[in-house]
Amino acid sequence: MPGPQVLFPTFLILTVALLGVDVYTGLKAKLAAHLTFVVITVASLVAAIWFALELGELYDLESAGWITPVHLKLARIATYAYVLPTVSGIMTLRDRKHRKLHFRLAMLTLSLTVLAAVTGAWMILAAQPLPTQP
């Protein structure tokens, strides 16, 4: 099985692509597809986070400097932010008047996810790899 060096970027790219599909299906009001892809996106995000944690064990993240705590804070905020479009999505299913709120919260969550991805890539590129063990 490939290591986190392959699996993390694979699931990260997949998650970002799926977020695009989520936005598209949501804007086109394709409800069944939207709900299906949202569930798939969350599963992909969980896998990306899992492999990000494994990848982090291969680097001295403190050596990346100030970007490490910034990324870790953004990543946590982005992850918790997924509750917002989930709750507003359920509200929208019950009453369509919440569509605009749901859209805004979804875009906020998407933006936080992209910021976390960019700062995460920056952190890994700035960090020193740990010596490999025999």
Residue 125's H or E segment, with its range, is helix 99-126
Residue 84 domain-assigned (yes or no): yes
The predicted structure's pLDDT at residue 133: 62
Domain with 92, as residue range(s), is: 61-128
CA distance 88 to 27: 15
Q: Does 46 share its domain with 82? A: no
This prediction has a pTM of 0.88
pLDDT 10s digits, 31-88: 999 999 999 999 999 999 999 999 999 999 999 999 999 999 999 999 999 999 999 9
Q: Does 34 share its domain with 71? A: no
CA distance 121 to 25: 28
Residue 119 domain-assigned (yes or no): yes
Collapsed DSSP state (helix, strand, coil) of residue 60 = strand
Residue 42 domain-assigned (yes or no): yes
Residue 103 domain-assigned (yes or no): yes
Helix 31-56 to helix 99-126 angle (10° resolution) is: 20
| Confidence class for position 132, pLDDT limits 50, 70, 90 | confident
CA 72, 64, 130 angle in degrees (round to 5)? 100
Tell me the two tokens of residue 4.
């986190």
Q: Does 119 share its domain with 89? A: yes
